[in-house]
Amino acid sequence: MYSVGSSRVFDPYVQVIQNANITQYIWTKSLLQPLWDYLRSQHQDALRSPLFPVVISVSTYFAVCTFYMILDLLAPRCPLIRRYKIHPEQHVTWEDIFKTLWHTGYNHLIYVFPAAVGQWYWRPPIPLQEEAPLVSEFLIGILGCTILFDFQYYFWHMMHHKVRWLYTTFHAIHHEYYAPFSWSTQYLSAWELVSVGFWTTIDPIILQCHCLTGFTFMVFNIWISVDDHSGYDFPWALHNLIPFGLWGGTVKHDVHHQKPQSHFAPFFSHWDWLCGTHCECKRSPAVLEMQTKRRKASEDQN
């Protein structure tokens, strides 16, 4: 499915890493081979099924959303959790959960599932390569798919805000919530849900990634998307770990729901910087406190 011919898009980049003598064994040996052998021998039929991408996407979405839902329900009675909410005064209710969950389930049942079943009639089973991807190929592939998806979604998202008909017809439903929460991630029109799912599926094919890389990117994409909508600003979140503000994360997407003409990018920050759609972000009380302490400590040292 994800490889075309004998050449790969990322071969030149993998070769550079291999020649850099950086942990040679990791970059030249397929550490993922035992895992891939197990999956091929024990779950080959499932992996080759056209329904498998839908199964892993839906199961990942429900698992990650459930985790954040538990935090949301505990937050009003647990100050330790509430301190990491960007809007600690906002509480997620069962009504919000049922409303968004029903809409998501409806879209999957009426649109996504029939489309997935329809693939049985026109799409052949996915061919599974015998060799697992190199760790370098695996990581670069996920990074490449993330960058490509970020580019696609930025301009698609911006267009749905700039063209009023697109906004009112398709995108307005997603902005019903001023402060997003996990289950609002796929509180979308069917058009948006199908579009995002199409790119997530097709990008690994465009970049000629290994099957394992493509499936992992799907899981990563959904996890990050839910995290962006979670409303939590944890110190260990990617936007607080990746330097120079390169990663958008929860705080920037939260601003997008208050200022819809800003922060269109789903993951990175560079397109918002280049196109002038970047603005300041609100942080959680806990992270603000940490930043204040660091600033004071730095001033005392100087």
pLDDT over 50 at 75, yes or no: yes
Choice between 199 and 300, residue whose per-residue pLDDT is larger: 199
Alpha carbon distance 80, 48 (integer Å): 44
Confidence (pLDDT) at 6: 39
Count of helix runs (H) and strand runs (E) in the chain: 15, 0
Of 262, 86, 299, which Cα lies nearest the Cα of 175? 262
More confident residue, 22 or 273: 273
What are the sequence ranges of the domains in the chain?
Answer: 11-301
Tokens at residue 286, please?
């806990």
Q: The tokens of 186 are what?
A: 């796929």
- Residue among 161, 199, 264, 247 at smallest CA distance from 57: 199
What mean pLDDT do residues 221-245 have? 93
SS3 179: coil
pLDDT at 123: 66
Instruction: Supply the mean pLDDT for the chain.
Output: 86
Residue 247, beta-bridge partner list:
268
Q: Which of 53-57, 109-113, 185-189 has the highest mean pLDDT?
A: 185-189
Per-residue pLDDT band for 292 (boundaries 50, 70, 90) equals confident
Q: Name the band, by pLDDT with cuts 50, 70 and 90, for residue 2.
A: very low
Tokens 């330097």 map to which residue?
Answer: 243
Point out the least confidently predicted range of 106-110, 118-122, 134-138, 206-210. Answer: 118-122
Q: How far apart are the first and last CA of the chain?
A: 57
Average pLDDT for 83-91: 92
pTM to 2 decimal places: 0.85
Q: Is the pLDDT of residue 95 over 90?
A: yes
Q: Compute the distance between CA of residue 276 and CA of residue 133 in angstroms, rounded to an integer.
A: 38
pLDDT at 302: 63
* Residue 127 binned pLDDT confidence (cut-offs 50, 70, 90): confident
